[in-house]
Structure 1
Amino acid sequence: MFEHCLSHKISKDSSTQHTILNLYEFHYINENKTWTEAQQYCREKHTDLATVTNMKDMKRLNNISAGYQREAWIGLYNKTLGTRTWFWSLPGVEFNESETNWNNNEPNDKGIKDSENCGIVYQDLKWGVQGCQWPEYFLCYDDMKTWQEAQSYCREKHTDLISGTKQLQDEEVKKLMNFEFKQLYIGLFRDTWRWSDGNSSSFRHWNLQFNYPQSNSGQYEVILIKENKTWKDALTYCRGHHRDLVTITNMDDRRRIQEKVKNASTPFVWIGLRFNCSMNVWFWVCNNWAWDEQNDCNMFGVMEAGGEYQWFQRNGSERFNFICS
């Protein structure tokens, strides 16, 4: 685990001969503990679990943990019953509700509780919110990325996503919005995550291989239906009684669904994956499959209900349990 100690440490930068003041040190504790146990240990032995306030802190943590091929706790925790709070992505820029420029009826979650947690700006420079998982353009690169991918790219190539009302009122931003984009991501997000030591830092540095916590808010429940149906009948059932056949887009989704699949009464379960022979491509249905569309080879995706939970193709006329979202 990582802990930090709020002690002054003076060090010399040999390349510039400037004196650098570090207000705290990070220590790597090579012991296995739960997050709560780690927090208690750090508070007893030092100050608290580590708070990470910027990319410089991240690099320091990476240097300290070099050689340890394991995860380590930091002081970030989710107040699951807490109020979502708005932050600007750029550390040091404070969010002020009195300076907001929301579009009419924003922010809202469009009927899905707690599902929209990332900010966008429209051509008229009004702000809106949407789910962080949807690809959008963003200010610093002309490609479409999810909010967290955009943040990661901007931090790697530049400084951060555009943050704060001062930056959003820049003349260059106005020109871009007038001529090139209908809407794009800005560095505005909200979450229920807090730092153990009470620090109000907005800094987040999530692993992009896993589901982004802002995207998890209000996520759809997944339900195992222990009835044996063809793929098309399973799709009809899910859309009639729930939302859709399940889509799996990241490791968090996969782990969550595997827990449900363990209780299946068939060796495989249908998921929302179908194959198009003419295009030779697999894709998720996600409300995009037309009812009158012909599938020229009738092949669909299943997840095995045990073992390594691998995915296989099966003829759509076979009958299995299925997972709805």
Structure 2
Amino acid sequence: MERIIFTSLLLTAVVSSSAGALRQYHFVNQQKSWTEAQKYCREKHTDLVTINDMQEQNDTKQAIERVNSNAERVWIGLKSTNTWIWSRDPAFYSGGDLRYKNWENSQPKGNGDCVFMNNEGKWNDRNCSFTKYFICYNDSSKGIIPVLQQKNWTDAQKYCRENHTDLVSVRNDTENEQIKHIIKQNITSSNEAWIGLHRLWVWSDSSSSTFTHWLTGEPNENNDRDICTSMGIKDHQGLWTDEPCTRDCFFVCYDDNMVLVRENKTWAEALRHCRNNGMDLVSVDSEQMQRWVKMTIMKANVSTHVWLGLRHSCTVGIWFWVNGQTVCYDQWTPDYDKDLNECEKTGRSGAIRTSDNRWISRPETDRYNFICSK
């Protein structure tokens, strides 16, 4: 028995996230392909790990180092696709805008995940770490702005978002000709500039996290094979590299202590469901918890609101959480309490609005998705 317990401890390390123990990380000291690791994590935990910020990056790295500080490559949940997307919000495009492409002959050919245009108006893929001039677009002025500073694609995107609207998109021949002319007139030294097109990378759990922590020069796989992301510990201090998904590596799974239930129930039914499963309706007592709830409700199933563990007492006229806490932190809408005078007829409970992540009072008989917390 002692030997079995020792082996089990050797295979997996668990570390709780500092954000209120909302997530636990499990380093699995077995080598599998990315797809096999994904299957293992989904069967035994929640999924391959998603990393949303530097705190979670450090938590994941810590989970690995507790068991195997010499691990060279460890799978996380990020995988490349063969889909190319624009930097701007999809709402900017309509009709056939997203179908327009003007690649150079034989492009894209696996030279990288970001796209530049040359002075002939043709598009080429290139490693995103290369520095180039770039083109921004400004919604206010309706202007296409060449920037005569050389930056990598990510820094160029950041610059455009901070100073204008975003890196430029190209929706048709007319816009392509405009940008081509701007490059010819303004960027004569290199005759090419970054535009807002880049390859889509996706997380195994469908998270919308945009956080990355690439090693300089990565990602750089120059072929058409499936490409996945690993974290390097021994040589790369936790920085990420891309690897063929068929490679056998150690991996990190996670358990999520916040569960979105994609069923529409009344508030009381939702509370009962959570408690029957050893959980409770979620209480949101900090900015960190609000952020986690925001990420969780992105997966809501056609629900305009999602129930929280928030309840109003008509008798004393206060809001309280089902875990017994009073409401100190809040994210109420400005008019959240306009119908509270009706609470004697229909009890009022708190929900988060999926359109803007603000809290609002709703009749407890409404039926919505809901979040349970462990």
**Shorter-chain TM-score: what band?**
0.3 to 0.5
TM-score between the two structures when normalised by the length of structure 2: 0.35
